[in-house]
């Protein structure tokens, strides 16, 4: 049994004229971009628009360039550093031993 909804199955802006009532679309260019994994992406740009040097690959997320033989390098991901890793960059093991000995002496009441 039909529900009586007259606009079911149509979209906003749809009419008897279809695309003709919207006017002509701007001239477009399809530019190829390649990432380091060899994926090709072809976004479309207006013919008078400035084309960017790089484009993000929709498959892997790496940056993609227009030169297929020499795509941009993937970004380097630095691993997460712990507090201890930062301390070890600033202090040597000998410095750590001296600080520990001083702290233990202070706790024992020797200082």
Is residue 54 within 8 A of residue 78, CB to CB? The reply is: no
60 is in an annotated binding site: yes
Close Cβ partners of 1 (under 8 Å, ≥ 6 residues apart): none
Distance between CA atoms of residues 71 and 59, nearest Å:
15
Q: Is 57 annotated as a binding residue?
A: yes
- Only one residue has tokens 């997460």, namely 80
Length of the chain, in residues:
111
* Distance from C-alpha of 95 to C-alpha of 15, rounded to nearest angstrom: 79
Asked if residue 58 belongs to a known ligand binding site, the reply is no
89 is in an annotated binding site: no
Task: Give the residue ranges of the annotated binding site for Zn(2+).
Answer: 35, 39, 57, 60
Task: Give the residue ranges of the annotated binding site.
Answer: 35, 39, 57, 60
């Amino acid at each position: 049994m039909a529900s009586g909804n007259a606009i079911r199955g149509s979209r906003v802006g749809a009419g008897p004229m279809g695309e003709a009532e919207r006017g002509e679309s701007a001239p477009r260019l399809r530019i190829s971009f390649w990432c380091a994994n060899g994926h090709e992406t072809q976004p479309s740009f207006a013919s008078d628009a400035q084309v960017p040097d790089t484009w993000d690959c929709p498959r892997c997320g790496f940056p993609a360039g227009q030169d297929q033989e020499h795509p941009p390098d993937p970004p380097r991901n630095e691993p997460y550093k712990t507090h201890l890793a930062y301390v070890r960059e600033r202090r040597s093991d000998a410095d750590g031993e001296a600080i520990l000995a001083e702290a233990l002496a202070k706790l024992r009441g020797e200082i």
